[in-house]
Structure 1
Amino acid sequence: MTSQVSSPAGQADEASEALVGGQRAPRSGHAGAGEKEIRRLDRVIIRFAGDSGDGMQLTGDRFTSETASFGNDLSTLPNFPAEIRAPAGTLPGVSSFQLHFADHDILTPGDAPNVLVAMNPAALKANIGDVPRGAEIIVNTDEFTKRPMAKVGYESSPLEDGSLDGYNVHPVPLTTLTIEALKEFGLSRKEAERSKNMFALGLLSWMYHRPTEGTETFLRSKFAKKPQIAEANVTAFRAGWNFGETTEDFAVSYEVAPASQAFPPGTYRNISGNLALSYGLIAASRQADLPLYLGSYPITPASDILHELSKHKNFGVRTFQAEDEIAGIGAALGAAFGGSLAVTTTSGPGVALKSETIGLAVSLELPLLVVDIQRGGPSTGLPTKTEQADLLQAMYGRNGEAPVPVVAPRTPADCFDAALDAARIA
């Protein structure tokens, strides 16, 4: 029997590989003479926005991990452009990461950010429409020069023409401060600029009393083969923290207490739907005592599964990157005929192309897992718009007399169990 898994490309789950209830970041005391004021909030929505090369996804991911380790309930919304290498500083090239965290149970990443971090004029213009009056906006003033502003249609600087008067704007020369903080490392200006996202992360970590140890450990691990770059990023991160602590422009910091339904202390993994599904397929292969074969053609947002499974040859996993979607499922079906646990991964446009071979698998009664990581639109569609758009196609997109069980996971972590269930049914 052929079994199909239909899933949205999972956002980060509400757990991270860190100690929940871990050590809180340093803080100043209650407001007094020369001291910072601390305000307590029940929830906050933060959006990091910048050019695709500014590292907004990494910045958001690290803030998310520290927030999860602190014990807040959270929901995230990564948003990256569909265009391939859109010109730097243009509206189509803006990438953002939104995080909603609270001291109580929340269900969505939110609509209107309380804080917008804009790394350039394009990021400000692309996101200002979502920001409510009175919200805080942190802007990298180094990028608000004539040419970058002209690229997105600003005739005058929004930082000076009064158009942002309804917001609490914090102008910060992020690039200059980062380069100054990294002088001792002897990096080129371009290399030093790359760490400005860590400066911004340090500043936001100070504002919301996020733990810092996990991020420093992560940076040293990520750049283990380049210790100078690792220490430069850690230094930029600390410089951002210290800037928040010492500057008069940030007189207030905020506390969001851990959620009452927080996870018990322990080690948790920050996991996406694609990663959980990959691990589930490997587990299914081991339990069934069958070699795992993946026949696939790269397609956003399913390619992560191909990338991940290719790392696990030690578990008898064989991955095949075919020349197109039809060849991918054809190879998988051949592997099923040969006795393998056969899988093909795709998105909605690929399911349309694979339909004929799915029908063949049903008629031959061969076990085959078709994994549909969903996105909006037919054909080329909207590759960065992940949504549950393929359900009817998964249920009915075949010839008559070709029934296929459909397993639909409900969360990123549930993708692990869904993979096991689908393999068992097939």
Structure 2
Amino acid sequence: MSVVDDIAPAELRLTPKEVRSVDRVVIRFAGDSGDGMQLTGDRFTSETASFGNDLSTLPNFPAEIRAPAGTLPGVSSFQLHFADHDILTPGDAPNVLVAMNPAALKANIADVPRGAEIIVNTDEFTKRPMAKVGYESNPLEDGSLEAYNVHPVPLTTLTIEALKEFGLSRKEAERSKNMFALGLLSWMYHRPTEGTEAFLRAKFAKKPQIAEANVAAYRAGWNFGETTEDFAVSYEVAPASQAFPTGTYRNISGNLALSYGLIAASQQADLPLYLGSYPITPASDILHELSRHKNFGVRTFQAEDEIAGIGAALGAAFGGSLAVTTTSGPGVALKSETIGLAVSLELPLLIVDIQRGGPSTGLPTKTEQADLLQAMYGRNGEAPVPIVAPRTPADCFDAAMDAARIALTYRTPVFLLSDGYLANGSEPWRIPELDQLPDLRVQFASGPNHELADGTEVFWPYKRDPQTLA
């Protein structure tokens, strides 16, 4: 059979394969920004989630905008930690590193423990790419990787060979090498295949030839693992059935969970959701997602700058909406005056800060959690603001609900502090039942609430609650 046929049945294996059971694995896919490492990791994650493992991910993007191909600053990676039990982090040291070129190997080798598996695309280990990152000799041949289980695989050559019947150019065929790698890793860890094939056909529905080429590359990678003598062992990680309470689960990223939490809060408060925002990494996904949900009464406004974004949100809060503005650290600095105004006006307003590196405009894809002091004290005068911070990607849903509850109950701006790791990372999320969500409805004043000494009834917008002083 050819490598592009359906997944190889057991009777066609060239060598007997050993299957080992392990309780957890950390895999890191690494390559150039254009090598599709984020898509590869995302698909492996989706199949792992559907299989029932607990998981946590860590996408890592280069800070530079399209650094030169094959250079260390241009390396992009995606790390996935999955297990048969409850896990809390995306892991530190990868058990498996997939390096698509010399830059990916050099940028990540320091994190790989001795004895770990390293899969390298040997087609990229030529003189020029190695010299570009400072390799004086080929690390695959000079003994520097003896402490690791290295699997040299000509990913590019095998992918082009598998796709030659599709009539694609070499450049077009090369783009599918990430799917070959995904197929190989899917075989190694017994991941389901149907979901990825359906995804590829849907993603490239308007280009059926490209869709089928990617499916063929994916199957070729699986069959390579099944038949080659270099991979004598595959691994099983059992579903984490005991780690999850009974319910319906889906894989979700932090920004998506936060978006859903804001929509759920508006529905539970019976208030329209209004987002005034200026695009900024890594918060822009929330603007993109909320703009898709006009059927829930969501209104999104892409402002001309950060100040206009929060100004529009504050106006929406004054008009009775559940108002939100999303940004990152540099935007918070620009929004500080309006946040102070919201404090003095006692208006509910959610300021979502997806933190990134600083100071000043900082680095768009470098994650930090360094905005706490700015959130606490970054305003003139006395303007205290409650702060809510999620602990995991899925927890962003509950954090958004809680921030809305505090803002509406106490008529105050509330900071919601997430970060780039939570925003882009993902994990299984138990979809809550509607009757489990809190009732966030508020009572608007419909008449006078205070009587003056002469008996005149008036409305005091800042009248204090004698119990809470709020």
TM-score scaled to structure 2, two decimals? 0.79
Contact 1:326–1:353 (CA<8 Å) still a contact in 2?
yes
1:126 equivalenced with 2:107 (yes/no): yes
How far apart are the structure 2 equivalents of 1:211 and 1:404? 47
Deviation at 1:84, TM superposition (A): 0.8
Deviation at 1:348, TM superposition (A): 1.6
How far apart are the structure 1 equivalents of 2:238 and 2:347? 53
If asked which structure has higher relative contact order (CA below 8 Å, sep 6+), I would say: 1
Contact 1:39–1:255 (CA<8 Å) still a contact in 2?
yes
How far apart are the structure 1 equivalents of 2:277 and 2:138? 48
How far apart are the structure 2 equivalents of 1:67 and 1:266? 17
- After superposition, the C-alpha distances for 1:378-426 in whole angstroms (9 at most, x for unaligned) are 212233233432223222322333222222223322322332332333x
Deviation at 1:239, TM superposition (A): 0.4
Report the counterpart of residue 424 of structure 1 in structure 2. 405
Report the counterpart of residue 307 of structure 1 in structure 2. 288
How far apart are the structure 1 equivalents of 2:266 and 2:229? 58
Contact 1:78–1:97 (CA<8 Å) still a contact in 2?
yes
Bigger shift: 123-132 or 288-297? 288-297
How far apart are the structure 1 equivalents of 2:96 and 2:109? 11
* 3-state SS of 1:177 partner: helix
| Residues 419 and 107 of structure 1: CA distance in aligned 2, closer, same or farther (over 3 Å) | closer
Deviation at 1:321, TM superposition (A): 1.9
Contact 1:137–1:167 (CA<8 Å) still a contact in 2?
yes
Contact 1:46–1:114 (CA<8 Å) still a contact in 2?
yes
How far apart are the structure 1 equivalents of 2:245 and 2:176? 34
How far apart are the structure 2 equivalents of 1:367 and 1:265? 35
- After superposition, the C-alpha distances for 1:110-147 in whole angstroms (9 at most, x for unaligned) are 22212110000100110111112222111101111222
How far apart are the structure 2 equivalents of 1:361 and 1:43? 47
* 3-state SS of 2:375 partner: helix
| Residues 416 and 133 of structure 1: CA distance in aligned 2, closer, same or farther (over 3 Å) | closer
| Residues 286 and 111 of structure 1: CA distance in aligned 2, closer, same or farther (over 3 Å) | closer
Contact 1:71–1:262 (CA<8 Å) still a contact in 2?
no
107, 127, 141: which is aligned to 1:146?
127
* 3-state SS of 2:30 partner: strand
Bigger shift: 397-406 or 195-204? 397-406
Contact 2:49–2:250 (CA<8 Å) still a contact in 1?
no
Question: Aligned residue pairs: how many?
Answer: 391
Contact 2:340–2:380 (CA<8 Å) still a contact in 1?
yes
Contact 2:57–2:78 (CA<8 Å) still a contact in 1?
yes
How far apart are the structure 2 equivalents of 1:416 and 1:294? 16
How far apart are the structure 2 equivalents of 1:282 and 1:106? 28
How far apart are the structure 2 equivalents of 1:261 and 1:137? 31
- After superposition, the C-alpha distances for 1:29-52 in whole angstroms (9 at most, x for unaligned) are xxxxxxxx2222222221110001
How far apart are the structure 2 equivalents of 1:227 and 1:262? 40
Deviation at 1:360, TM superposition (A): 0.7
How far apart are the structure 2 equivalents of 1:264 and 1:182? 44
- After superposition, the C-alpha distances for 1:139-160 in whole angstroms (9 at most, x for unaligned) are 1011112221121112222112
* 3-state SS of 1:295 partner: strand
1:401 equivalenced with 2:385 (yes/no): no
TM-score scaled to structure 1, two decimals? 0.86
- After superposition, the C-alpha distances for 1:196-245 in whole angstroms (9 at most, x for unaligned) are 11100110111111121221122222222322222211111110000001
Bigger Cα Rg: 2
- After superposition, the C-alpha distances for 1:147-178 in whole angstroms (9 at most, x for unaligned) are 21121112222112222222211111101111
* 3-state SS of 1:270 partner: strand
- After superposition, the C-alpha distances for 1:246-284 in whole angstroms (9 at most, x for unaligned) are 111111212222235244787532111111111222223
How far apart are the structure 1 equivalents of 2:392 and 2:137? 45
- After superposition, the C-alpha distances for 1:291-328 in whole angstroms (9 at most, x for unaligned) are 32211111111111111112223333222222221121
265, 273, 277: which is aligned to 1:292?
273
| Residues 38 and 374 of structure 1: CA distance in aligned 2, closer, same or farther (over 3 Å) | same
- After superposition, the C-alpha distances for 1:334-390 in whole angstroms (9 at most, x for unaligned) are 222333322110112211221111001111222221111122332122332334322
* 3-state SS of 1:237 partner: helix
Structure 2: which 5+ residue stretches go unaligned? 1-7, 10-17, 407-470
* 3-state SS of 2:252 partner: coil
Contact 2:188–2:234 (CA<8 Å) still a contact in 1?
yes
Contact 1:71–1:263 (CA<8 Å) still a contact in 2?
no
How far apart are the structure 2 equivalents of 1:290 and 1:54? 44
- Pairwise CA RMSD: 2.0
* 3-state SS of 1:108 partner: coil
Contact 1:142–1:174 (CA<8 Å) still a contact in 2?
yes
How far apart are the structure 2 equivalents of 1:287 and 1:209? 41
| Residues 267 and 223 of structure 1: CA distance in aligned 2, closer, same or farther (over 3 Å) | farther
* 3-state SS of 1:269 partner: strand
* 3-state SS of 2:243 partner: coil
How far apart are the structure 1 equivalents of 2:173 and 2:326? 39
How far apart are the structure 1 equivalents of 2:94 and 2:242? 24
Report the counterpart of residue 356 of structure 1 in structure 2. 337
How far apart are the structure 1 equivalents of 2:297 and 2:238? 46
